[in-house]
Structure 1
Amino acid sequence: MSKPENDNKGSLKYGSFEASGPHAREAAEQVGELYSRISVLSSQQKSSSCSVSIHSDGPKDNSVDGTLDGIDSDDVVDSSPPRTLGVFQLAGLMYLVTAGGGYGLEPVVQAAGPFPALIGLLIVPWVWSAPQALMTAELSTLYPRDGGFVVWVEEAFGNFWGFQVGWWNFFGSLVDNALLPRLFSDYLKIFLGVSHLSIWLSWGGGIFLLLFCFILNYRGLEIVGWASVIFVVIVAIPFAILTLVGLPQSDPKVWLQWRGQRDTNWSLFWATLLWNLCGFDSAGTCAGEVKSASKTYPAAILLSCAMGLASFLLPVAACVTFAQDWDEWNDAFWPVVANRVVGGTWCGTLITLGGLASATGMLNSLMATSSRALYGMATTQLLPPELAVLHRTYKTPVRCIALVAIGTALFSVLSFEKLVEIDSVLYCIKEMLEFMALIRLRYKYPHVSRPFEIPGGLTGVWLCCSSGICCCVLMICLSGLAAFFSAMSMILIGFMLYPLAHWWIAKHEEAQMKESNVVVFDES
């Protein structure tokens, strides 16, 4: 590790972190502290997955991308997951995790009418999606290693809270993932033109979907990324056709209609809107496999946000003129309105195929992000290190991927109404903890130059986090007391699981130490 360097301008340089003026010395000390902390994380990761390689010029750790000691994100060793995701692959994965097309957004129009829906789609992304995206960009480029929010929270508040945020995400990911085979079956019914599927076709389709996504994840994140790009194209084409055909024929007066204060279901409106515009932090779990993360993350997030806004706002504006009975706007309504806008049935068929691709792409992407969160927990010794074993050829965390796939299959047989409400509460609590971690790390390392930094200094960070936390509180309030107290029970389970996991890991380390000890006896 290089030492801080002085120059004639009164600045200090520590690797690629640089500060000048009166805070140069503090910056160097904080970078040293940060580097020491990341070295500890790397030594932990080495003990479980051997991901640190010693070179002649000192230790090189893939925890930091181009930010410490001149480390390049592309300089990886054979025993760690390769950095293969570029801008388009990461943007595709991120888009599917957060948006996945306009599917599921229809109840926003049903609840309030087109005017509140369009205004909400214009404003809410700035106060809800943008804070998540900015947080993910800053912290993923500061800590570009697999694990994402687990690493951020663990670094800010310690092992206990790092474990809790990982547990909340694991439970929520199983609920989210298990919904997608059902969504796939719903669009499969529309595509086949039947009112219901046989039990064999329904279960067979779900099993095929899980196996397909498992194989893609098993082969590596690069394939997952390129598959995400293909799924995004399939999803985007029919909505682009709807927009191009429908907007020129739209009546702008319809955009100003709404149900009125008495008839508007604000709870459904806000819950649907907020739920469809979240999830950017999940993309941070794959940061250890992103090429040049300091450049890739900001570009991918910007591209993903633009695609998400376009795929939500424009199709709604293009189609409301053709479906002015707002009660029609329920789940899976897009194929119906597409046929009205374009004429015939071919566009509705494309929308249906897009729904199948969206469900597949979302499950594929969520399996990747949720398995990397588990992998990050294992490499930071929050879970047994056996989970961090990488495939010998593809360098993928196979055991974590298999655990997510099996959990998804088991959760698919459960009733989801209450689980989804619990999931939304846990997600919001997790998100609030991440925002607090962002604030904490800004105060912990105030003079460290970040590859990407939320503009406006501490004021900008506080505004960003306050906006995100307020939206989280709103979502929790909309979920109701029953969901809140049920979520508290899941949190208590996490509190009880932590000492068990800690005991298991300590026992494993003790066994390893005993195996590694060599006792030499004196023959005399």
Structure 2
Amino acid sequence: MQQPVLTRKIKPFQLVALVFFTVSGGPYGLEPLLNYAGEHAAFLILLVTPLLWDVPAIFTVLELNSMMPVTGGYYKWVKHALGPRWGFYEGWWTWIYTFVDLAIYPVLFVTYASYFFPGIEAYRIQVCLVIVWLSAILNILGIVPVGRTALFLGAAVLSPLIILIVLVIYQHGDNISIPSQTLNGLPFSSFGIALYTVMWNCLGWDNVTTYAEEVETPVRSYLISSFAAFALVMVVYFFAIMAAQQSGISHSSFLEDGFPALGEIVSGRWLGAILAIGGMASSLGIYAAVLLSVSRVPKAMAGDGLLPQRLNVLHSRFQTPYVSIIICSIVVSFMILWPFAELLIIDVTVYGAGLSLEYISLIKLRITSPNVKRPFKIPLNVAALCMVLILPFGVYFIALAGAFASTPKSIQAAIFAICILLTAEVAWRLVTWRKPHLKRS
């Protein structure tokens, strides 16, 4: 059945807000870094990891998206380059990873809301469910309302952080200094979890491409928005951790109580309060933006016959994949029962596997389709690309090894993530059992 043409599209400045929230949403969630890495390694890990982990991903996404700016994004790229089986793996892994990712943000919202309502933890599940289903309604209304909401929440996130950073710089003036940075003496398990923390706070660059057909001038818009968002994320992260380091807050207190506790140390309860509001806004904005991206993947897979056709149906009024949105929200409603630390490890591990297929697809298409138009092309040949892409793979496996060298709960989370990856083959066999022709395509 032919779907109606989407006429309401978001503008580049709204896309910047969506990219910011999909990838980051501010430094809320970065608090464990100082506790694991310490002052003498935190800035080194914070600045080097995105260069090795994010920059290759950003350039890969920009090139592939310039070739195929279509609904489904990364799933369509992998399917086109590697065939239906690996395309299914990509869609399946990223769909599951996003369930895990989404489950984190309602929990973070409750954490920051507890600053105002200390007893809210007793109602954590109920509050999380309200957030899940209000975000589902917002996404069913369409990408434009989500984009406008992201702009508003972006202001609510960044304003308190700017106030915090300005006050810290004013108070410490010429005494601001960054401790010498080294990995010497940092236990490997702590290094691995610190890597996971930064990687989780900087992932999702490919997620924003799943609704490319709903963006005005997508190739240009994604190019500008991705670089603008990356610069914004790195500046905010650096100064936020610098503020924590200069304030003298204990690493354990920062880990447990977050930015509101930092705000109280810097300038009293009023700053702690607005930073808590910023944390709540960050959680809401990230959730809505990530749900927007993931809901387009099962729709695209259903359109290719890899998932039930019902997932390909658009809402009669809002032209949104409402069935996919509802199913995602149902699954996340159960995932919120997981603890935060374990969700983070599962999240990054599953996401990294999907991202690796995008890197392989980039190389494959460079070899098999060298003459296809690429409005944006990474200025490297195939051999140089292969060398560069070793870097994110290295970061990924070091972090995974660190999880296995850490606490029993971290090991359990890593093993569970690997088991999740293996479910893709089980699901693929079920699909091809019902549709044998897919094996030959």
TM-score, normalization by structure 1: 0.76
| Partner amino acid, structure 2, of 1:458 | V
The 2-side partners of 1:432 and 1:134 are apart by: 14
Give distance in 2, aligned partners of 1:452 and 1:263.
40
Moved over 4 A (4+): 251-254, 257-260, 414-420, 481-485, 503-507
* Structure-2 residue corresponding to 1:471: 395
Q: Which has the higher helix share?
A: 2
**CA distance in structure 2 between the partners assigned to 1:418 and 1:205 by the alignment:** 21
- Residue in structure 2 matched with residue 255 of structure 1 by the alignment: 178
* Superposition deviation, residue 243 in structure 1: 1.4
Q: Which amino acid aligns with 1:220?
A: G
| Residues 470-479 or 273-282, more deviating | 470-479
**How many Å apart are 1:273 and its aligned residue?**
1.7
Which of residues 318, 335, 345 is equivalent to 1:394? 318
Of 376, 380, 388, which aligns to 2:300?
A: 376
Of the three residues 211, 215, 220, the one matched with 2:142 is 220
Q: Which residue of 2 aligns with 1:501?
A: 431
Check conservation: 1:428, 1:476, Cα contact below 8 A.
no
Q: How does 1:63-74 map to 2 (within 5 A)?
A: none
Question: Are residue 357 (structure 1) and residue 287 (structure 2) matched?
Answer: no
Matches within 5 A, 1:8-407: 47=1, 50-51=2-3, 79-82=4-7, 84-192=9-117, 194=118, 196-197=119-120, 199=122, 201-250=123-172, 254-256=177-179, 261-262=184-185, 265-323=190-248, 325-341=250-266, 343-407=267-331
Question: Within 5 Å, which residues of 2 pair with 1:397-476?
Answer: 397-414=321-338, 418=342, 420-476=344-400
- What runs of 5+ residues in structure 2 fail to find an aligned partner? 405-410
Secondary structure at the counterpart of residue 178 of structure 2: helix
Distance in 2 between residues matched to 1:322 and 1:491, nearest whole Å: 42
Residues 462/351 of structure 1: CA separation in 2 closer, same or farther (3 Å cut) = same
Query: Which moved further from structure 2: 463-472 or 248-257?
Result: 248-257
Q: 2:199·2:348 contact (CA, 8 Å) conserved in 1? A: no
1:260 CA drift (Å): 7.7
Q: Which amino acid aligns with 1:440?
A: K
1:445 is matched by which residue type in structure 2? S
Q: CA–CA distance in 2 between the matches of 1:466 and 1:260?
A: 21
Contact map agreement 2:39 2:179 (CA 8 A) in 1 = yes
- CA drift of 1:414 comes to 4.3
Q: Distance in 2 between matches of 1:263 and 1:135?
A: 32
Q: What is the alpha-carbon distance in structure 1 between the residues aligned to residue 394 and residue 181 of structure 2?
A: 25
In 1, Cα distance between the equivalents of 2:397 and 2:29?
Answer: 22
In the alignment, what sits opposite 1:18? none
- Which structure has the bigger radius of gyration? 1
Return the alpha-carbon distance in structure 2 between the equivalents of residues 325 and 262 of structure 1: 20
- Give how far 1:418 is off: 4.6
Distance 1:123 1:260 in 2: 12
Unaligned runs of at least 5 residues, structure 1: 1-46, 52-78, 508-524
CA pair 325-482 structure 1, distance change in 2 beyond 3 A: closer
Aligned length: 428
Note the C-alpha offset of 1:313.
0.4
Percent identity, aligned pairs only?
Answer: 27
Assess, with a 3 A threshold, how the Cα gap between structure 1 residues 506 and 176 changes in structure 2: closer, same or farther: same
Assess if the C-alpha contact under 8 Å between 1:178 and 1:408 holds in 2. Answer: yes
Q: 1:287 to 1:332 in 2, by over 3 A?
A: farther
Q: Does the 8 Å contact 1:104/1:332 carry over to 2?
A: no
Distance in 2 (CA, whole Å) between partners of 1:232 and 1:370 is: 20
CA distance in 1, matches of 2:253, 2:182: 13
2:200–2:344 Cα contact (<8 Å) kept: no
Residues 116, 289 of structure 1: alpha-carbon distance in 2 compared, 3 angstrom cutoff = same
Q: Is the 8 A contact 2:254 2:261 kept in 1?
A: no
> CA separation in 2, counterparts of 1:478 and 1:156?
32
Q: Residues 316 and 423 of structure 1: is their aligned pair in 2 closer, same or farther, counting only changes over 3 Å? A: closer
Report deviation, 1:152.
Answer: 1.1
Deviations along 1:310-343, whole A, 9 cap, x unmatched?
A: 11001222331212533333144211111222x2
* Higher RCO (CA-CA < 8 Å; seq separation 6+): 2
CA distance in 1, matches of 2:154, 2:324: 25
Residues 134, 220 of structure 1: alpha-carbon distance in 2 compared, 3 angstrom cutoff: same
**Structure 2 contact 91–298 (Cα < 8 Å) conserved:** yes
Moved more, 274-283 or 496-505: 496-505
